[in-house]
């Protein structure tokens, strides 16, 4: 069981959260200007690192807000969690 | 016979020959370097050596033969997929599995059990009907069956109205089967080694050297190896290894946890799965119940078991087979699955010349072992992408032609 620190509510159990994948991916401001390769890159291609991963989490059963977590995908260790910066991705 | 066995046991020099080649020093150059000595890597080496006359092959693994997901999967063989591309591909695989013991001269302990997928909602029944029609059109035996037929096929299954998610119907797939997963990789590796392929265990590829857009050599912990081409077949590490060659993949990596109960007398013939409850189960020929479930809810490269997942697996199986409440868990483990956005594999050419991808095998890798080996070998030998795997090229994501099999998994992930 992970203890995840929500920047708004504090430390809570993993089961209150849902995972949102890699963080820091912004929707291109002008999709029409992209070719297919660049659009596919934005949609599908991911770093998927073995080690430190910057990712999105949603406090689904709490404040329901999205935030960023730095987590190690081998050791489970969470290094930091923080509120989203204004320009770091549109996750609805 | 018992006397011969006794004599054999008392001899000092055992006449049995080793299945695999002795690990000699690495040569300076191989025609083909295969990264990953699992079922897929060994199968590719076997088909190259036997049918394409290419045997100057190094089969490398950072661990030991078949020690990754080949050892960790739940040995399900089936072809009841949803898309025509998927059904054609897995249908060929099931056919190759049927003849594999003869092909290899090695008993893979194939058992035709049939596979039953359960519907707990009207939406599931609709998708089963769709799958059954697609399957039947392509010569795969699938049919929608009612509750009475389910009761007759699996008398121990709890088919009642008072359960939380009553079973409404099933997709019966008579071609479903199981086999000994270790035997598959051992058989392929033995056949490959007999034909001159070199198996090098404990040999980790640390970097891939690309010159002018083509792969020239790989650097391992035992030195540099020049090569004509490279095939990566490293389920669970696809993104990490592809990155060595500068290739980005659309993969998310999650563990999938499974466990095995104590052995019982034979009571369950078919393989049973419930996508709704996130569980699938089969009884092995040893009598143990093998239980597999959905993946962990967040990305990980760790095979540790967690209480949450094991608890959900146990509660799901008790919905189906209440008598297992008395069962003791003998072993538990996790495999690392490389999930693609469309739940189909990534096979074929990459952006690097002579670097071939066999990746994105999520939770469907074991059942594809023979056909993947055969088609990838043909690709490596001829440079032409076989029609059967053309739909699964990495390029499909750039053309927006995904092969959506999300509806055909045994347990939703």
pLDDT surpassing 70 at residue A89: no
Q: Give yes or no: residues B314 and B184 share one domain.
A: no
pLDDT surpassing 50 at residue A57: yes
Strands B271-274 and B115-119: parallel
Strand, helix or coil for residue B306: coil
A15 CA to chain B: closest CA distance, Å?
9
In angstroms, the CA A16 to CA B19 distance is 51
Nearest residue in chain A measured CA to CA from B254: A73
**CATH number, domain containing residue B286:** 3.30.9.10
Please report residues of A whose CB lies closer than 8 A to that of B248: 41, 45-46
What is the pLDDT at residue B399?
Answer: 96
In a domain, B265, yes or no: yes
Nearest residue in chain B measured CA to CA from A38: B398
B residues 140-169 lying closer than 8 A (beta carbon) to A? none
Q: Give yes or no: residues B329 and B264 share one domain.
A: yes
pLDDT digits 0-9 by tens, B94-117: 999 999 999 999 999 999 999 999
Segments in chain B below pLDDT 50: none
Q: How many of the other CB atoms lie within 10 Å of CB of B403?
A: 19
Q: Which of A1, A40, A46 sits opposite B251 (nearest CB)?
A: A46
| Total domains, chain B | 2
CATH architecture, domain A3-83: 2-Layer Sandwich (3.30)
Tell me, what's the ipTM?
0.90
User: Which uninterrupted H or E stretch holds B311?
Assistant: helix B307-320
Q: Which of A15, A21, A40 sits opposite B308 (nearest CB)?
A: A15
What is the pLDDT at residue A92?
Answer: 45
**CATH number, domain containing residue B100:** 3.50.50.60
- Which tokens is B183 given? 């035997």
In a domain, B21, yes or no: no
In a domain, B15, yes or no: no
B residues 316-345 lying closer than 8 A (beta carbon) to A? 341
CB contact B246 to A (< 8 Å): no
What is the pLDDT at residue A33?
Answer: 95
A63 CA to chain B: closest CA distance, Å?
20
Domain membership of residue B75 as a residue range: 29-112+176-250+341-413
Alpha-carbon separation of residue B43 from B21, B54, B160, B369, B383 (angstroms)? 16, 13, 44, 7, 18
Q: Tell me if A40 and B398 make a contact (CB, 8 A cut-off).
A: yes
**Domain boundary at B278, B309, B339, which?**
B339
pLDDT surpassing 60 at residue A88: no
A54 CA to chain B: closest CA distance, Å?
11
In a domain, B92, yes or no: yes
pLDDT surpassing 80 at residue A91: no
In a domain, B142, yes or no: yes
A residues 36-75 lying closer than 8 A (beta carbon) to B? 36-37, 40-41, 43-50, 53, 55, 73-75
Please report residues of A whose CB lies closer than 8 A to that of B241: none
What is the pLDDT at residue B411?
Answer: 64
φ/ψ bin of B200: left (φ > 0), alpha (ψ from -120 to 50), beta (otherwise): beta
For A46-60, give the secondary structure using H, E and C: ECCCCCEEEEEEECC
**DSSP characters over A16-35:** G-EEEEES--PPPS-GGGS-
């Amino acid at each position: 069981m992970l203890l995840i620190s929500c920047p708004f509510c504090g430390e809570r159990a993993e089961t209150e959260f849902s995972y949102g994948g890699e963080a820091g991916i912004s929707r291109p401001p002008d999709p029409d200007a992209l070719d297919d390769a660049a659009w596919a890159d934005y949609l599908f291609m991911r770093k998927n690192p073995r080690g430190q991963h910057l990712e999105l989490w949603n406090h689904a059963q709490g404040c329901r807000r999205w935030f960023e977590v730095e987590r190690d995908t081998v050791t489970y260790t969470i290094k930091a969690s923080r509120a989203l910066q204004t320009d770091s991705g549109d996750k609805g | 016979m018992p006397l011969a066995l006794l004599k054999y046991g008392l001899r000092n020099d055992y006449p049995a020959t080793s299945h695999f080649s002795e690990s000699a020093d690495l040569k300076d150059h191989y025609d083909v370097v295969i990264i990953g000595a699992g079922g897929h890597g060994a199968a590719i080496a076997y088909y190259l050596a036997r049918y394409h006359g290419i045997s100057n092959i190094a089969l490398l693994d950072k661990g030991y033969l078949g020690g990754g997901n080949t050892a960790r999967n739940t040995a399900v063989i089936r072809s009841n997929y949803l898309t025509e591309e998927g059904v054609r591909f897995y249908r060929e695989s099931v056919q190759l599995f049927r003849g594999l013991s003869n092909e290899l001269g090695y008993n893979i302990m194939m058992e035709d059990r049939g596979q039953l997928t359960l519907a707990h909602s009207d939406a599931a029944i609709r998708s089963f009907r769709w799958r059954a029609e697609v399957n039947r059109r392509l010569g795969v035996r699938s049919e929608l069956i009612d509750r009475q037929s389910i009761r007759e096929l699996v008398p121990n299954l709890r088919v009642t109205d008072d359960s939380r998610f009553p079973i409404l119907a099933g997709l019966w797939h008579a071609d479903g089967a199981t086999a000994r997963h270790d035997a598959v990789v051992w058989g392929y590796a033995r056949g490959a080694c007999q034909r001159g392929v070199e198996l090098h265990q404990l040999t980790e590829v640390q970097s891939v050297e690309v010159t002018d857009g083509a792969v020239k050599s790989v650097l391992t912990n035992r030195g540099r190896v020049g090569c004509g081409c490279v095939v990566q077949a490293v389920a669970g590490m696809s993104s990490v290894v592809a990155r060595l060659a500068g290739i980005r993949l659309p993969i998310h990596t999650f563990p999938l946890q499974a466990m095995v109960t104590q052995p019982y007398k034979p009571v369950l013939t078919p393989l049973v799965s419930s996508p709704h409850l996130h569980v699938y189960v089969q009884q092995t020929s040893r009598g143990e119940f093998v239980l597999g479930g959905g993946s962990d809810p967040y990305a990980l490269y760790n095979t540790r078991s967690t209480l949450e997942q094991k608890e959900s697996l146990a509660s799901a199986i008790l919905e189906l087979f209440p008598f297992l409440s008395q069962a003791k868990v003998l072993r538990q483990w996790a495999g690392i699955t490389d999930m693609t956005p469309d739940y189909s594999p990534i096979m074929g050419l990459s952006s690097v010349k002579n670097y071939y991808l066999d990746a994105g095998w999520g939770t469907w890798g074991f059942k594809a072992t023979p056909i993947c080996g055969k088609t990838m070998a043909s690709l490596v030998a001829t440079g032409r992408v076989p029609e059967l795997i053309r739909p699964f090229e990495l390029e499909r994501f750039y053309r927006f032609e995904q092969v959506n099999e999300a509806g055909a998994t045994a347990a939703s992930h």
